[in-house]
């Protein structure tokens, strides 16, 4: 699993949305070793007049931005893997977005296994069942 929430600046763009989800899921599977079959992704577009960087809306300053929250089970990835993920994901998004602001954030949320899950089961429960 992880649960992924992607926010993109600008008007709704189905092509951009599909490309961004694909690259995020590819890198999540490759670098973080997560199973694509249980990745859930939500995408929201935010108008440039509602996205502020340094107190100025993108509608005035120009450029594009994104924010990504990705919940992963705590202690399942190393600092090195997380660092590589942040670096490569930013680079991939920069190839999809014109004039991407550096203030585009990627937040890997290390959720405790006992407090995180899907399908009515925690990740801790899944871990314990796998040990049997």
Distance CA 28, CA 35 (A): 8
pLDDT digits (tens, 9 = 90+) for 65-116: 999 999 998 889 999 999 999 999 999 999 999 999 999 999 999 998 888 8
Architecture of domain 3-131: 2-Layer Sandwich (3.30)
Identify the DSSP state of 64: B
Dihedral angle of Cα 28, 29, 35, 39, to the nearest 10 degrees: 30
| Best CA proximity match to 59, nearest among 46, 40, 69 | 46
**Would the CA dihedral through 79, 85, 86, 87 be positive or negative?**
positive
Better-predicted residue by pLDDT, 87 or 120: 87
Q: Encode pLDDT of 50-60 as tens digits.
A: 999 999 999 99
**Whether the Cβ atoms of residue 6 and residue 68 lie closer than 8 Å to each other:** yes
Domains of the chain, residue spans: 3-131
């Amino acid at each position: 699993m992880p649960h992924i929430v992607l926010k993109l600046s600008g008007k709704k763009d189905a092509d951009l949305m599909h490309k961004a989800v694909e690259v995020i899921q590819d890198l999540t599977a490759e670098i973080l070793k997560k199973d694509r079959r249980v990745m859930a992704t939500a995408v929201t577009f935010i108008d440039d007049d509602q996205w502020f960087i340094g107190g100025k809306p993108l509608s005035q300053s120009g450029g594009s931005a994104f924010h990504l929250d990705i919940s992963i089970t705590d202690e399942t990835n190393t600092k090195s893997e997380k660092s590589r993920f942040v670096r490569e994901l930013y680079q991939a998004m920069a190839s999809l977005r014109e004039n991407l602001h550096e203030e585009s954030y990627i937040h890997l949320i290390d959720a405790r296994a006992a407090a995180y899950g899907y399908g009515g089961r925690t990740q801790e429960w899944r871990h314990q069942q796998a040990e049997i």
